[in-house]
C-alpha cells in the first residue's frame, strides 16, 4: 500500500509540475536539482519498451558514450518548451552523445506516444516506461526531467524544466 501511495504521489507531482506555467528566464546554467537521483551516482538500468513493443534495458544505452535521458510526456508543456534545445543538441552532438527519451506512462498510453512520435519525430531513441520502474529508479520529480550520464555511466547532471542549458549539461559529460 505504501508503494502504491508513493507511486500515486509521484504521479500527482509529475502532473502538477508539468502543468505549472514555465518560467521565462534565459537558459539556466547546468546544475544539480534538489530532487531526483543524485549527481555522482551510477545511472541505473531498468525495463522499458520500444515503440514496437520490445522490452529493452536502459542499461544497454549507458556506459558507452555520454547519454542524455529526458523523462517526457506528450502533454508536458515544459517538455515542449525544452524540445528545441534537445533537437539542437542532437544536431550538434548526435554522433558522439546518445539521446534517449523515456515516455512516462502517467496520463498517456503507448498508442498516444506512437502517434505523437509519428507526427513530430523526436530525434534519438523513444522508449516507454509502462510500469514506472525506470522513473522510480531515477526518482523522477516531474516530466522534462533530464539526466546526463558520462561515458562511464556516472550521472553528471540532472535538471527539470523547459529552460535547461543542454549544451552546458553535455559539457559536464565530455
Instruction: Extract the C-alpha cell encoding 94.
Output: 548526435
Right CATH for 2-171 from 3.30.465.10, 3.40.30.10, 3.30.450.20, 3.20.20.70: 3.40.30.10
Instruction: Print pLDDT tens along the chain (174 aa).
Output: 333 324 434 444 444 444 444 444 445 544 445 679 999 999 999 999 999 999 999 999 999 999 999 999 999 999 999 999 999 999 999 999 999 999 999 999 999 999 999 999 899 999 999 999 999 999 999 999 999 999 999 999 999 999 999 999 999 998
Are the C-beta atoms of residues 106 and 13 closer than 8 Å to each other?
no
* Domains of the chain, residue spans: 2-171
pLDDT computed for residue 33 by the predictor? 56
Are the C-beta atoms of residues 117 and 85 closer than 8 Å to each other?
no
pLDDT computed for residue 29 by the predictor? 47
**Per residue in 151-160, is it b (16+ CB within 10 Å) or e — as a string?**
bebbbbbbbb
Instruction: Extract the C-alpha cell encoding 106.
Output: 502517467
Question: Which residues have a Cβ under 8 Å from the Cβ of 145 and sit 6 or more positions away?
Answer: 36, 70, 71, 138, 158, 159, 160
Amino acid at each position: 500500500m505504501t508503494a502504491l501511495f508513493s507511486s500515486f504521489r509521484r504521479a500527482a507531482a509529475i502532473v502538477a509540475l508539468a502543468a505549472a506555467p514555465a518560467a521565462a528566464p534565459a537558459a539556466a546554467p547546468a546544475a544539480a536539482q534538489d530532487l531526483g537521483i543524485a549527481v555522482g551516482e551510477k545511472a541505473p538500468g531498468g525495463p522499458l519498451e520500444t515503440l514496437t513493443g520490445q522490452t529493452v534495458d536502459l542499461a544497454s544505452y549507458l556506459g558507452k558514450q555520454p547519454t542524455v535521458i529526458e523523462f517526457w510526456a506528450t502533454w508536458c508543456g515544459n517538455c515542449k518548451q525544452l524540445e528545441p534545445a534537445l533537437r539542437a543538441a542532437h544536431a550538434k552532438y548526435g554522433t558522439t552523445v546518445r539521446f534517449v527519451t523515456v515516455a512516462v506512462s502517467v496520463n498517456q498510453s503507448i498508442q498516444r506516444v506512437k502517434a505523437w512520435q509519428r507526427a513530430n519525430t523526436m530525434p534519438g531513441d523513444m522508449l516507454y516506461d509502462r510500469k514506472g520502474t525506470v522513473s522510480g529508479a531515477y526518482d523522477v520529480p516531474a516530466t522534462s526531467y533530464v539526466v546526463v550520464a558520462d561515458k562511464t555511466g556516472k550521472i553528471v547532471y540532472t535538471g527539470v524544466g523547459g529552460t535547461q542549458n543542454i549544451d552546458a549539461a553535455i559539457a559536464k559529460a565530455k
